[in-house]
Amino acid sequence: MSLETFQMIVTLLGGLAVFIYGMNLMSDGLQKAAGDKMRNILGMLTKNPVMGVLAGALVTAVLQSSSATTVMVIGFTSAGLMKLRQAISVIMGANIGTTITAQLIAFNIGDFAWIFVFIGFIMYFFFKKKEMAVKIGQILFGFGLLFVGINTMSSTMEPMAESPVFTEMIMKVADIPVLGVFVGLCMTLVVQSSSATIAVLQNLAMTAGPDGVTSIIGLTGAIPVLFGDNIGTTITALLASIGGSKNAKRTAISHTIFNISGTLLFIWFVPQIAELVTWLSPKGPEVEVISRQIANTHLLFNLTVTILWLPFIKVLEKIVTTIIPGKDEREDMVAGPVFLDTNVLEQPVFATHLAIQELTRNASLTFDMLKKSREAFAGGNLAMVNDVIETDKTVNIIRTKTIEYLSQILSAESITDFQKERVSALLHVASDIEHIGDYCKNIVELAEDKAKNKYVFSDIAKNEVDEYFNKIETMLVDTMESLETGSPELAEKVLAEEEKINAMENEIRQEHMHRLVDNECSPAVTVVFLDVIHNLERMGDSCNNIAEAVIKGYRAKKQSIAKGE
């Protein structure tokens, strides 16, 4: 290999690296600008397949990566937050959303790349006090670098096109569609980004052949490579599904089937597709318009395959269920997290959503502990003692893993200041939930002490304990719902309930003292009685802390919206 050839290859790879970096930087900027609004897209997924397709397209347009969207969807499916049918529709939308990058590249604005870089740099590095300006600056800076990478690749491909060996190799790809598909597949497997490989394809196609007029590969030669790129991008999802639930694997396989089926259907009509796209696209010399033609082919192909498959989502669901048979069941009492997925960490909005689901699940485990501790203490059912102690171990494990996960979210490059504040609050919530479990454990230990020493409570004392348990159970239910939904109204209700709990504790203490003076209660049971009331009151404090975190998050969100973040 000559030094000149080596330099061309290195420059080509360098241009590709700058392109990928610019695309990732732009994606991070878009995520920050979109902020928590992206979470609202989740609500669209429960409506119908069409809304799922739309949601998938929107998320992918922001993430600038269909692979990132499919990995996120696999995480949600594995956690049980998304049904298989919903996941399939979102992936169909992701295939449409990923065509945005090719459309951007097709706009021949490479001459203005450094202008975008300069303006974006100024806004990104010198407007630190204006958050939205920084986010827009990051988007422009990444957008400019994206085209700097494209320009670098273009300048490298021009002398490469003069090489007879390179020209002959490209001609083989253009003449044998199956070979083109294989090349596109391999390129995407190596780069792990169909957007990047399609950008390379667009630049190659804009390079003139030996005659200096027509494209070195032509549209009919580029289309099979484009099909291969589409298949290659599904590998990331397949890898992400390893170790996931059955529905996660089915989701990944549905993505592969979707893209392969489209290729198998349309590979026989490449000349006709090229003719149609040429008719639909702008006219002009081939090397000047072929980038737009490839972008339009990409959009037309993915849109058509989606329209063809959309009425048959149930069929596709049946196919993948046949390939991966059996029920997809999740155990609620597994000794560890269910919802957390590290593959989603680079999308803070969705990762935070998973963390909240895990925290809500952990809170529900403590609610189960509360009911069992009540059975043990008030009902004398000591069979519940071991159940509470074992569940407490699970609660502690989930708390530790969730805190680790939340800490990882904080290190994501695309996280916004509002999201940082929200995640920081959730770190405290994780500890408060774990404390509730500890108080339940304390109560069952008191139940054992009560049974061992045969302490007998007066009827009034029993009623007071029973009523206090009722108040705490209601409060914990409201707390869990406010945490899951982010409802400030429910959180305010919890705060009001906590004030009543505190007042009730003082009243119970005073009433017990009166009973002691009047010899209506035994002094021996005082410690146990007051301890159980105290532990219940501390649960109320923890619920209060969680409610305050919800309210704080709601206010921070309102401020974020007011600032236009």
- pLDDT tens digits for 81-132? 778 888 889 889 888 988 888 887 777 776 778 888 898 888 888 776 677 7
pLDDT at 6 over 80: no
Give the pLDDT confidence score for residue 159 in this predicted structure. 65
With cut-offs at 50, 70 and 90, classify the pLDDT of residue 331.
very low
**DSSP string covering 343-402:** GGTTSHHHHHHHHHHHHHHHHHHHHHHHHHHHHHHTS--THHHHHHHHHHHHHHHHHHHH
Write the Ramachandran bin of 169: left for phi over 0, alpha for psi from -120 to 50, otherwise beta: alpha
Residues 210, 348 within the same domain? no
Q: Is 215 helix (H, G, I), strand (E, B) or coil?
A: strand
User: What is d(CA 113, CA 211) in angstroms, rounded to the nearest whole number?
Assistant: 29
153 and 280 within one domain: yes
* 325 three-class SS: coil
CA-wise closest residue to 352 among 397, 287, 416: 416
pLDDT score of 334 more than 60: no
pLDDT in tens, 430-470: 999 999 999 999 998 988 888 887 777 778 888 888 899 99
Decide if 464 is inside a domain. Answer: yes
Please answer whether residues 180 and 174 qualify as being in contact, where contact means their C-beta atoms are separated by less than 8 angstroms. yes
* Residue 330 resides in a domain: no
Q: What's residue 333's pLDDT? A: 43
Q: 262 and 385 share a domain?
A: no
Instruction: Tell me if 333 is assigned to some domain.
Output: no
What percent of the chain clears pLDDT 90, i.e. is strictly above it?
25
SS3 (DSSP) at 553: helix
In a domain, 174, yes or no: yes
Asked if residue 556 is part of any domain, the answer here is yes
Cβ atoms 528, 450 nearer than 8 A: yes
* Contacts with 322 (C-beta within 8 Å, 6 or more apart), sequence order: none
Using CA atoms, how far apart are residues 209 and 156, in angstroms rounded to an integer? 14
On whether both 279 and 365 belong to a single domain, the answer is no
Please, what is the average pLDDT of the chain? 83
Co-location of 74 and 194 in the same domain: yes
Q: Spell out the residues 6+ positions from residue 271 whose beta carbon is closer than 8 angstroms to its own.
A: 220
Of the two residues 428 and 149, the one the predictor is more confident about is 428
What residue spans of 64-193 are helical by DSSP H?
A: 66-78, 84-97, 99-106, 113-126, 131-160, 164-175, 177-191
Query: Could you tell me the CATH number of the domain that includes residue 533?
Result: 1.20.58.220
Residues 150 and 56 in one domain: yes
User: Cα(538)–Cα(198) distance, rounded to whole angstroms?
Assistant: 59
Task: Identify whether residues 115 and 206 lie together within a single domain.
Answer: yes
What was the pLDDT predicted at 463? Answer: 87
Higher pLDDT, 245 or 366: 366
- Helix axes 3-34 and 131-160, enclosed angle (nearest 10): 160
The residue with tokens 């992206």 is 38
Range of the domain at 28: 3-323
Q: Which residue has the higher pLDDT, 171 or 134?
A: 134
Residues 211, 346, single domain; the answer is no
The count of domains in the chain is 2
CA distance 57 to 344: 17
Q: Same domain for 386 and 317?
A: no
pTM for the model stands at 0.76
Q: 329 in a domain, yes or no?
A: no
**Claim to verify: residue 253 and residue 353 sit in the same structural domain:** no
CB neighbours of 383 closer than 8 A, spacing ≥ 6? Answer: none
For residue 204, being part of any structural domain is answered with yes
Q: State whether residue 217 is helix, strand or coil.
A: coil
* Alpha-carbon dihedral 142, 147, 149, 152, rounded to 10 degrees: -150
Q: Which of 260, 291, 323 is the last residue before a domain boundary?
A: 323
pLDDT of residue 253: 92
Lowest mean pLDDT among 9-13, 172-176, 325-329, 552-556: 325-329
pLDDT digits (tens, 9 = 90+) for 468-506: 999 999 999 999 999 888 888 999 999 998 888 888 888
Q: Which of the pair, 36 or 296, is modelled with greater confidence?
A: 296
pLDDT band for 348, please (50, 70, 90 cuts).
Answer: confident
pLDDT digits (tens, 9 = 90+) for 250-278: 888 999 999 999 999 999 999 999 999 99
Residue 338 per-residue DSSP state? S
Q: What is the pLDDT of residue 177?
A: 86
As a whole number, mean pLDDT of residues 335-359 equals: 84
Q: What is the predicted pLDDT for the residue at 188? A: 83
23 with 141, same domain?
yes
Q: Final residue of a domain: which of 323, 353, 368?
A: 323
Looking at per-residue pLDDT, the higher value among 24 and 484 belongs to: 484
- What are the structure tokens assigned to 67, written together? 């692979």
Co-location of 175 and 286 in the same domain: yes
Q: What is the pLDDT of residues 186-230, one digit of tens each?
A: 888 877 778 788 888 888 888 776 666 677 888 888 899 999 988
d(CA 378, CA 369): 14
Tell me which of 230 and 41 has the higher pLDDT.
Answer: 230
In a domain, residue 337? The reply is no
